[in-house]
Chain A
Amino acid sequence: MQEKLTSLEEAIAPICDGDVVALQIMATYMAPMALVRELIRQNKKDLGLVVLIGGIAVDWLAKAGVINRLIGAAVTMEQFGLCQQYRKAVEQGRIRVEEISESVLNARLGAGARGLPFLTTRGAIGTDLMKENSDNMKMLDDPFGGMPVMACRALVPDFALIHAHRADRYGNIQYEPGARWPDLAIMPKAAKHVVVTVEEIVDSEVLRRHPERTVLPGFKVDAVVEVPNGAHPTSMYPNYGYDTQFHREWTSVSRDDEKATEFIDKYIRSPASQSEYLELIGSEERLQYLQEWEGKR
């Protein structure tokens, strides 16, 4: 079997400027943040980003000039508010938004995963989303005589980036039971290449004890990297919660271009590794606090 274990640098290096990159993310929930930081460190440019509900990652990528288009259903940091750098970039025309609804995104990625030209939905009919996405959303008569449906064109991202609980060296990916989002269920299957960070690399024998928890076979994965706390500052249920203090630190500077640049330099460009990054955010004590989220917040 082919080994897929590699470093953050090597995992992200094959992504070319202009590629379409699908990112697992749901506001403050479970995003591959170490991979996001690596995209910024490698100065990737003109990426198209696919998200269900983008959060702080989108704000950082917008600020760092990594993305110039976004295909997704929403961008928000939930209780921490709008992503101000993303918002500014869209309002100034630096990021072009192809806004689609959740069922349309599912249909587009689902078609991509299955090699179909399109899948259909009855969601979003009658909205202005159709007008702004007429290349990818078209009304279609039901060949069986029912009401018309909306055809959603296949979306095949060049890369999907995800973070998971564990994997073996061969890239078999496993999650703890919990709420799962469509970006997990379908994004990696639709994408040409898949890059995964995990909390821990384990022996394949460990995965075999719970095959029902394996969600992606190793042959569909290009690269896997062990990155403990790799979702920080987003949450990784049940391991750790989202980091309220860190989100607030970002939102306290994110309207100010200069201070936002300082933040990105300090937390993203300067640390040479995940452990240096974790030391910056407060190391053991802070991480332990985040691990105790359940029942508290």
Chain B
Amino acid sequence: MILGSTGGEIAITHGMKSVGEPARLRPRAVLQFLGRAVRNGWFWTGVPLMALSFYALLVLLSWAPISLVIPASALSYVVGTFGAKFILGEDVSTARWAGVILVCIGVALVAAG
């Protein structure tokens, strides 16, 4: 589930980076930009992966209690950061790592209720 959603999001990020940012944030420019995005192969790699992760979540929920599954999915913040660093080549500073780990623990606590 985590690998599916993270893989999907990384593929979409990669796709959006190759599309390039819209020159200005006007409705027409953004529409043209979205048109280019959906013609990008990476976008269509990302969407099925995200769908797969959603199904994995449904299956997982039928096996394990929700109070375990949802907090555990907070691990995707850490997995995603590794992906961003090693696949997308982003420069993850110490401050960002510290923030990600705090967010991960925080989301797990909030989700556990």
Answer yes or no: do A and B interact: no
Contact surface of B with A, Cβ cutoff 8 Å: none
